[in-house]
A and B are shown apart, each in its own frame.
Chain A
Amino acid sequence: MNPDDLLILPGNWNFDYQYFAGETASRFFAELRDHQQILGRRCPSCERLLIPARSYCDACYVETGEWEQVGLSGTIEAFAIIQTQFPGLPEPPLAIGFVTLDGADSAILNFIRGIDLSDVDAAGERLFNEKRVSVEFSDNPQGRITDFHFVLD
């Protein structure tokens, strides 16, 4: 058959959802919104302080213990600089990074803002050399993970 005669039908998936975060994440976000604090829970078995807060340690599969506060500075473990527009996702350029906050034993993901991303290779080199960041809180907290971001120290 001539390729121009092949039938191609339009389609669309567009569903709305509400995601149930559970009690532990709900408290994590309430502390973030109301007290500008980042809290996690420690695994009684492997003794890792998990940030963001988890109700159980995935590695040991046991319930985590008491809530503990971590520092508002940390170290970049991994980063990426988004340079292309993925349809439906935030507009580039954007830097993201997994950061281990001081006192934590797992890493939390967020945007790293305030870096000149116009020369992406230079920005990448800078993030290899300057790994210390601090948390900067939003003026308008919503009780979401986007209530803060990182800035280089």
Chain B
Amino acid sequence: MSDPVGIIGVGQTPYRKRNSDKSAGELARTAILEALSDAGLEPDAIGAVIGGVAPDALSGIGDIDKAAIAMPGKPYIHVNTGGATGSSALLAAKTWIDAGRADVVLVVALERMGQAATAQSIFNTIFDPIYEKDFVLTTITMAALRATMLMNRDGFTGEHWAGIASRNFTQATRNPLVIGAKARSVADVLASPVLAWPIHLYEACPISEGACAVVVARGDIARSRNTAWIHGTGAFSDTYSMGDRMHRAEGSLIEMVPLRRAAQVAYRQAGVTDPLSQLDLLELQAPFAIIEAMAYPALGLCDIDANRSFVDKVITADAPIAINPSGGAQAANPVSATALVRIAEAALQVRGNAGDRQVSDARLALATGQGGATQFSTVCILGSDVP
């Protein structure tokens, strides 16, 4: 059996619309130095660096990692799975260590999207230019399309999306890294302008820049520290075109097939048979309320036909699990870094280091990552106990 692997250090910059006081390299370095300090290691202890930035048009600098992430003299691997870049990089780091290539790997993800005058026209370029791109596809319209599909199937209403959004934004006020976090009521969300019906402005994640770094290690280095142990991981991909995912035996566009598969694999590794009772908290990479609602059945927290009643419980805080104590991706979504932020937050929780947003006695946490039009999904389960 391979040596257990865990996260021994976490570093995050604040997440805000523009960090104009720092260059890209300075932003990444801030998170890296904090993660190394948290781990009690010097840069020479790092055996490899894995990171990524995607899409790089958001920063207007091609392969910005060369300037910002790759440390001179270290092996470097660039990962690009869109919004799942950070979690894919973490999974690659674990694999690198499991393969015996290094004992300590630094994972770092940077988002510099505050440099872009417009994010949505850049997101339009992630869609198929032959058949789909002409129809104003963006991350927002993609979420709106799925929202109407889910409303049609399960009877969700705009109040459900607003309820989830309100909860996330309000929880973010306890997270000092989300600069400008504001508690928002359901009425505030529903009164905000419609971007793409049924999605309102305050159901969409804001523009967020920032960097996140974690130090991953095995063996005595990990055993001698306060470590968030990796209990299970899963990562699956899906079809490019959304229209080709409508009538499939394994599940449609709103059934989050790759996320379901990733959860099943991770649960098996972690010995999780009843996620709702065994997991203490979730950090979901769901930039829109609708994406969060779709994740619950995919993660096995409820059956598909009980999805709406589970969402009702989440909104009234009656679900028996903590969800997005950081505020989640809805409150701050630094695209390239956001899936690593979910893992970093889960790590802080099971290490007991989460400050005002700490979930009491958090011992097992699950973090998700979603990239593209959910072509990429990851699940990572972290625990306080050595697996």
Binding site for B on A (CB under 8 A): 1, 3, 6, 8, 11-13, 19, 21-22, 25, 46, 48, 50, 52, 54, 58-59, 77-84, 86-90, 94, 96-98, 100, 105-111, 120-121, 123-124, 127-128, 144-146
Asked if B246 and A88 make an inter-chain contact with CB atoms under 8 angstroms apart, the answer reads no
CB nearest neighbor in B for A97: B145
| Contact among A90, A123, A124 for B136, CB-based, below 8 A | A90
* Residues of the A chain whose Cβ atoms lie less than 8 Å from the Cβ of B199: 80
| Contact among B121, B148, B195, B239 for A59, CB-based, below 8 A | B239
Asked if B148 and A21 make an inter-chain contact with CB atoms under 8 angstroms apart, the answer reads no
CB nearest neighbor in A for B238: A58
0/1 string, B147-188, CB within 8 A of A gives 1 = 111011000000000000000000000000000000000000
| Contact among A1, A89, A109, A124 for B131, CB-based, below 8 A | A109
Asked if A107 and B246 make an inter-chain contact with CB atoms under 8 angstroms apart, the answer reads yes
Distance, CA A22 to CA B129, complexed state (A):
12
Asked if A109 and B132 make an inter-chain contact with CB atoms under 8 angstroms apart, the answer reads yes
Asked if B149 and A83 make an inter-chain contact with CB atoms under 8 angstroms apart, the answer reads no
Distance, CA A144 to CA B132, complexed state (A):
11
B314 at interface by CB-CB < 8 Å: no
16 A–B pairs (Cβ distance < 8 Å), ordered by A: A6-B21, A13-B57, A25-B130, A46-B249, A52-B131, A78-B145, A78-B148, A80-B196, A84-B196, A89-B136, A98-B145, A106-B244, A106-B247, A107-B247, A108-B243, A109-B137
Asked if B253 and A84 make an inter-chain contact with CB atoms under 8 angstroms apart, the answer reads no
Given contacts A11-B60, A80-B144, A107-B246, contact A86 B20 (CB under 8 A): no
Given contacts A86-B136, A89-B138, contact A81 B145 (CB under 8 A): no
Nearest chain A CB to B287's CB is how many angstroms away?
A: 16
Given contacts A58-B241, A82-B136, A124-B198, contact A3 B21 (CB under 8 A): yes
* Residues of the B chain whose Cβ atoms lie less than 8 Å from the Cβ of A21: 130
Distance, CA A111 to CA B137, complexed state (A):
11
* Residues of the B chain whose Cβ atoms lie less than 8 Å from the Cβ of A128: 148, 151-152
| Contact among A58, A109, A124 for B135, CB-based, below 8 A | A109
Asked if A83 and B145 make an inter-chain contact with CB atoms under 8 angstroms apart, the answer reads no
Asked if A81 and B134 make an inter-chain contact with CB atoms under 8 angstroms apart, the answer reads no
B41 at interface by CB-CB < 8 Å: no
Distance, CA A129 to CA B193, complexed state (A):
24
Distance, CA A6 to CA B134, complexed state (A):
38
Given contacts A94-B136, A106-B244, A110-B135, contact A84 B194 (CB under 8 A): yes
Asked if A86 and B130 make an inter-chain contact with CB atoms under 8 angstroms apart, the answer reads no
CB nearest neighbor in B for A95: B197
Tell which of A1, A78, A127 has the most Cβ of chain B within 10 Å: A78
Asked if A88 and B141 make an inter-chain contact with CB atoms under 8 angstroms apart, the answer reads no
Asked if A86 and B194 make an inter-chain contact with CB atoms under 8 angstroms apart, the answer reads no
Chain B, interface size category, equals 35 or more
Distance, CA A22 to CA B128, complexed state (A):
13
Can you list the 9 inter-chain pairs with the closest CB atoms, starting with the nearest?
A: A80-B144, A81-B197, A107-B243, A87-B118, A78-B149, A88-B121, A86-B120, A78-B145, A107-B246
| Contact among B117, B131, B141, B248 for A25, CB-based, below 8 A | B131
B30 at interface by CB-CB < 8 Å: no
| Contact among A1, A86, A96, A97 for B124, CB-based, below 8 A | A86
Asked if A96 and B20 make an inter-chain contact with CB atoms under 8 angstroms apart, the answer reads no
Distance, CA A98 to CA B246, complexed state (A):
9
Distance, CA A124 to CA B247, complexed state (A):
23
* Residues of the A chain whose Cβ atoms lie less than 8 Å from the Cβ of B140: 86
Given contacts A19-B130, A96-B136, could you give 9 more A-B pairs where the C-beta distance is less than 8 Å? Answer: A78-B146, A81-B194, A83-B193, A84-B193, A86-B136, A89-B124, A106-B243, A107-B247, A124-B197
| Contact among A1, A19, A87, A88 for B129, CB-based, below 8 A | A19
B242 at interface by CB-CB < 8 Å: yes
Distance, CA A22 to CA B20, complexed state (A):
43
* Residues of the B chain whose Cβ atoms lie less than 8 Å from the Cβ of A106: 241, 243-244, 246-247
B240 at interface by CB-CB < 8 Å: yes
Asked if B247 and A105 make an inter-chain contact with CB atoms under 8 angstroms apart, the answer reads yes
B37 at interface by CB-CB < 8 Å: no
Nearest chain A CB to B161's CB is how many angstroms away?
A: 13
B115 at interface by CB-CB < 8 Å: yes
Asked if A6 and B131 make an inter-chain contact with CB atoms under 8 angstroms apart, the answer reads no
Distance, CA A130 to CA B309, complexed state (A):
26
